[in-house]
Structure 1
Amino acid sequence: MWLGLAAPVSAETPAARAPEPNTLVPAGVMRYAPSGFPDRIVATPAQDAAHGFAVAWRTDATVSAPMLEVVVAGDSPDLGVPRRITASTRTLRRENGVAHHHRADVDGLEAGTLYAYRVQGDRTWSPWMQLRTAGDASAPLELLYFGDTQNKNASLTTRVVREALRHAPDVRLVLYAGDLVSGGDGEDDNEWGEWFDATGVLSTSSMTAPAPGNHEYFEEFEDTPQERRVLGAHWPLQFALPRNGIAGGDGVATTYWFDYQDVRVVVVDGTSALDLGTAAAQAEWLDGVLAANPRRWSVVLVHQPFYSPRAGRDNVELKRHLLPVIERRRVDLVLQGHDHTYGRRGSESGDDTPVYAVSVAGAKQYRLSERARATMDPVGEDTQLFQVIRIVDGRLRYEARTATGRLYDAFELVDDGDAGGKRRVELERERIPERSCAREQTLKGRKDRCWE
């Protein structure tokens, strides 16, 4: 008997199965108003991540040109006299009010060294945070890759990030394959606030490298002859990314590259390539960056897949312009999102590299096409995933794990130094069986999706 308490809600109770809103912020509530206290702090790699990084953060409009302090981390609370760097500041007005977004670039650092840093607000500072610069090429590396987070970040992405940290406690670099938020519904700033809540310590203690997705853009003049894609206002302010890419269709550089130990990571903008006519220019730029790569490994991060696992998507311009470059330069990993399923495949030539992976970390789940089931292995539906990638001693080990930590996919790329290139070795042990969507439709009645 329950005394003074409501009866427990059964899984069959209609209220328990109602669609969940995209954010946990009730209508009319201001949860993420900027203040004099620094928030949304995120560290990103410099072009040479062994000797620099950048930090972006947010305050209210009372703070202009604040400081970042950085010092070699030590065991004593007396960290010594820190170096001070003045940030640049830009203004953004959104549903939560007027914010100032700040950027500080830190250079001249020692490789493989743990630094403490903090950022300034209005008469206050953030906590001291710690971040290690990239080591030399022989140092082991642990990194994480997430497909789209996008929807219900505070509610359902949070658990994926925390589980990922359990499996990659020494993570140094985090790659996001675009569509970090959904946007376009008047809650953009709330969604970004929840994304930072979900990613938590990852954003300050590891270097974050995101690719822009189509949801980082919005449709201007929608349903008119002047309709066009425009990069959202948050993107260029919220991440202090390397300034070594080429301008997208709106004049903002949404491509970039950096070296982290023995890996060259190149980020391309699939939305700009497909919708704004930059595919050929990006391909030329990508070819130059890969041709000059002195590193053993190469990774390309892009939102839209070259081989889509969802029916009705083909991404022709990516295949026409960028895919030949990736194949010719023998990129090791191509990490993608967009299609809210899991799928992995190799090169059409039959070579062991490149390896093309599509994954999803967030709540929105699509259905696989029959073509994907025939050409990709493994594939998966209705599953939140993260990927742990470890590189050491000429081996790159890739693991895809579910939100509960179960192993879904695994392989190794082995570099023996042979002229024939790297070998791919499938790792079958402890993988769980393929997952498929058992629902006929979503709670909103959509049969083309598995979950919303």
Structure 2
Amino acid sequence: MAWTRPLSMMLGLTLAASASAQVTNEAEPNTQVPAGSRHYAASGFPDRVVASPAQEASTGFAVAWRTDASVSQPALQLVLAGDSPDVGVPRELTATTQALTSENGLSHHHRVQIDGLKPDTLYAYRVQGQDTWGSWNHFRTAAPAGTPLTLLYFGDTQNKNLSLVSRVLRQAWRSTPDARLALFAGDLVSGKDGVDDSEWAEWFEAGRWLLEGTAVAPAPGNHEYHEEFEDTPQERRVLGGHWPVTFALPDNGPTATAKTTYWFDYQGVRVAVIDGTSALDLGTGRAQAKWLDTVLASNPHPWSIVLIHQPFYSPRAERDNLKLVEQVLPVIRKHKVDLVLQGHDHTYGRRGDTDSTTTPVFVVSVAGPKQYRLSDYARRTMKPVGEDTQLYQVLKIDPQHLSYESRTATGRLYDAFELQRDAKGGKRLVEQTQGRIAPRDCARPSSPKGREDRCWE
């Protein structure tokens, strides 16, 4: 006998289907906490733990974390990672502490610089709170120069970190478990001081395991700054309060941008991080260029990467970043930097320099859901390009090869190439087209907020 569903069940299914059909893609807020909620207020339990590379990443790293104001100068414990739950007697280091007041109240931010370590060695560390400790986290120091390296690069995360960026970070981490280093090209969050602490909390929530066990190196973006004296003749950019206390980065930048510009070496690669916002809006471009010239001139390694938020060649219309082009780009050209990794324009685009040399290769990418539209100029001068696509990048580097892949949030291959180095140090670029999906364009006439210059919010 054929089974017949009860009318009430059929009606319920029909109503559910009808309700589902009425759901629209409206823009959602940047955080998942209701207005006025202090869900992410600091407590005596340590949170927002993030590791970063030391200048010489084979012998050290640094850790930053947060607690409430009941904790001052807590300890970090470090041991060689082993297979027994008996970790032994740890080395204990005392943190330095800075206070921060936000919409979630007063918090204390702690950091420890760890040195004297063995290269390519797995350590376990934990951080202290109020009468409690965080979990033991594993962190492997960089191997000696010449050892193959896998690293991740993310464009802007910025919006809806917990809701939509988290899937990109998880996919990257799941597909690349051997990644030692993670580069973030700025605009990690969207808000300004006074409204962005919950956004920072959800950035940490989205990438927690990656941030605790990988050497994280971010560049500051324009959204890490806020406007002071807005709409007055005294209006100016001011670095937001979170950036200086959130990360424990190498202290080796120029005086003009001491908190936001730095460099480090990692397994045969020199990475230099530039503050594009300060160069464009605060007049520090020449000072950063002079510093970068010195950093790159002393590079003993076969590869170099510059990480910066604003692109030298913008894939979005009406953005030229002229001061960067005039003041910093000549140094990048002079030293034939291999990769310039960028964000800011919320699209994808790759191109070489104007003189048709193999390097530098300029890339703009976006990890978050805020998506812009490409300019006609970008479509003529960049290949491939992309819209409406969340991406992450995987780089695999050895002394003779630099392999680059850009992948979508679901892990599909979007772009790939390889830089090959010959015996004399010359380099050539080889396109890798097999397995790539077709370039993606935005199919929407406007974003959910009605903006025609954006594809998605």
Alignment-mate amino acid for residue 173 of structure 2 = L
Matching of residue 7 in structure 1 with residue 12 in structure 2: no
SS in 1 for 2:217: strand
**Residues 174-253 of structure 1 mapped to structure 2, 5 A cutoff:** 174-184=182-192, 186-248=194-256, 252-253=258-259
Which residue of 2 is the match for residue 289 of structure 1? 295
Is 2:391 the partner of 1:391? no
Equivalence for 1:263: 269
**Distance apart, 1:417 and its partner CA:** 2.4
The residue that corresponds to 1:449 in the other structure is: 454
Q: Find the aligned partners of 1:431 and 1:187 in 2 and give their Cα distance.
A: 40
Helix, strand or coil: the match of 1:17?
coil
CA distance in 2, matches of 1:320, 1:2: 68
Deviation at 1:30, TM superposition (A): 1.5
The separation in 2 between residues aligned to 1:2 and 1:123, in whole angstroms, is 57
Conserved? CA contact 1:400–1:409, under 8 Å: yes
How far apart, in 2, do the equivalents of 1:2 and 1:63 lie? 58
**Aligned counterparts of 1:184 and 1:122: Cα–Cα separation in 2:** 29
| Distance (whole Å) between structure 1 residues aligned to residue 124 and residue 279 of structure 2 | 38
Q: Which amino acid aligns with 1:445?
A: G
Aligned to 1:129: 137
Distance (Å, rounded) in 2 between the aligned partners of 1:197 and 1:214: 22
Consecutive unaligned residues of structure 1, counting only runs of 5 or more, are: none
Closer/same/farther in 2, CA of residues 401 and 102 from structure 1, 3 Å limit: same
Q: 1:382 aligns with which of 388, 392, 396?
A: 388
Asked whether the equivalents of residues 140 and 392 of structure 1 are also in contact (C-alpha less than 8 Å), the reply is: yes
Q: In the alignment, which residue of structure 2 is the partner of 1:422? A: 427
Structure 2 residue matching 1:164: 3-state secondary structure: helix
> Could you say which residue in structure 2 is the equivalent of 1:41?
49
Deviation at 1:394, TM superposition (A): 1.3
Kept after mapping to 2: 8 A contact 1:268/1:301: yes
Amino acid paired to 1:422: K
In 2, Cα distance between equivalents of 1:254 and 1:40: 19
1:69-218, aligned counterparts within 5 Å? 69-184=77-192, 186-218=194-226
1:329 paired residue number: 335
Aligned residues of 1:11 and 1:17 also touching (Cα < 8 A): no
Query: Is contact 1:247-1:254 (8 Å) kept?
Result: no
How far is 1:233 from its partner?
0.2
Per the normalisation by structure 2, the TM-score is: 0.96
Q: Could you tell me how far 1:392 is from its partner in structure 2?
A: 2.5
In structure 2, C-alpha distance between the alignment counterparts of 1:2 and 1:443, rounded to whole Å: 33
Which string of whole-angstrom CA distances, capped at 9 and with x for unpartnered residues, describes residues 319-348 of structure 1? 001101001101000000000000000121
- 1:55, distance to aligned residue in structure 2 (A): 0.3
| Structure 2 Cα separation of the partners of residues 166 and 57 of structure 1 | 24
The 5-angstrom pairing of residues 341-380 of structure 1 reads 341-380=347-386
**Distance of 1:324 and 1:81 partners within structure 2:** 51
Alignment deviations for residues 100-153 of structure 1 (CA, whole Å, 9 cap, x no partner): 000111000000000000000000000000000000112121100000000000
Question: What residue is the counterpart of 1:439 in the other structure?
Answer: 444
Report how far residue 78 of structure 1 moved. Answer: 1.2
Summarize deviations over 1:188-221 as a string: whole Å, max 9, x none. 0000000001111110110000000000000001
Q: Residue type of the partner of 2:308?
A: V
1: CA distance between counterparts of 2:82 and 2:398? 27
> What CA distance in whole angstroms lies between the structure 1 residues aligned with 2:71 and 2:301?
41
- Percent sequence identity over aligned pairs: 65
State the 4+ residue runs in structure 1 displaced beyond 3 angstroms.
2-6, 8-12
The structure 2 residue matched to 1:23, chosen from 22, 28, 31, is: 31
Instruction: Specify whether residues 2 and 223 from structure 1 end up closer, same or farther in structure 2 by C-alpha distance, changes over 3 A only.
Output: farther
CA distance in 1, matches of 2:113, 2:34: 36
1:3–1:190 distance in 2 versus 1, CA, 3 Å: farther
Contact 1:306 1:323 in 2 (8 A): yes
State the alpha-carbon separation in 2 of the partners of residues 133 and 43 from structure 1: 11
User: 1:34 Cα shift?
Assistant: 0.3
Q: CA deviation at 1:252?
A: 4.5
List alignment gaps of at least 5 residues for structure 2.
1-8
Structure 1 residues 113 and 441, CA, compared in 2 at 3 Å: closer, same or farther? Answer: same
Contact 1:144 1:174 in 2 (8 A): yes
Distance 1:3 1:230 in 2: 58
Deviation at 1:22, TM superposition (A): 1.1
Confirm or deny: 8 A CA contact 2:48 2:66 kept in the other structure: yes
User: Is 1:272 matched with 2:278?
Assistant: yes
- Letter of the 1:149 partner, please give it: T
Q: Which one is further off, 123-132 or 71-80?
A: 71-80
Q: Is the 8 A contact 1:342 1:381 kept in 2?
A: yes
Superposition deviation, residue 371 in structure 1: 0.3
Is 24-33 or 182-191 further displaced after alignment?
A: 182-191
Q: By how many angstroms is 1:11 displaced? A: 6.1
**TM-score under structure 1 length normalisation:** 0.97
* Residue in structure 2 matched with residue 302 of structure 1 by the alignment: 308
* In structure 1, C-alpha distance between the alignment counterparts of 2:163 and 2:86, rounded to whole Å: 38
3-state SS in 2 of match to 1:244: coil
SS at match of 2:162: helix
| C-alpha spacing 1:4/1:121, structure 2 compared with 1 (3 Å) | farther
Task: Return the alpha-carbon distance in structure 1 between the equivalents of residues 10 and 311 of structure 2.
Answer: 52
Q: Quick check: which has more Rg, 1 or 2?
A: 2
What do you get for the CA RMSD once the two structures are aligned? 1.4
Cα distance change of structure 1 residues 416 and 9 upon mapping to structure 2, 3 Å threshold? farther
Task: Note if contact 2:192-2:240 (Cα within 8 Å) is conserved in structure 1.
Answer: no
Q: Displacement of 1:444 after TM fit?
A: 1.1
- How far residue 187 of structure 1 moved from its aligned partner, in angstroms, is 2.7
